[in-house]
Amino acid sequence: MTNLKTSFDAGLQELKTMRDEIRVRLHLAGQELRTQWEEQVEPAIGRIEGQIKEVRDDSVEAVKDAIERAKAAFQEFRGRLGDDKSPRAVSER
């Protein structure tokens, strides 16, 4: 269970880092993207983070899937913010 918790904690930390990067970029983005973030993306990510925190042995696959969905949502939204030259974005391509 310790390795599993470590894995989930790492995934959750990665989501938080991605969220923080997007928040910084949103400061410079247009109002339409900010509205989409505040009304659609961020609440969904908050729900996923809550699911990760409540993980049990029988929900391992569900949590892994939630982390991957959240990463995909962040990456898609980050793409809407425009040209991203960060090292993380370059390594993901």
pLDDT digits (tens, 9 = 90+) for 71-89: 888 888 888 887 655 444 4
Specify the pLDDT at position 26: 80
pLDDT digits (tens, 9 = 90+) for 12-66: 888 888 888 888 888 777 888 888 888 888 888 888 777 777 766 556 777 778 8
63/48 Cα distance (integer angstroms): 8
8/43 Cα distance (integer angstroms): 20
**What residue ranges do the domains of the chain occupy?**
2-92
Specify the pLDDT at position 92: 45
Specify the pLDDT at position 11: 82
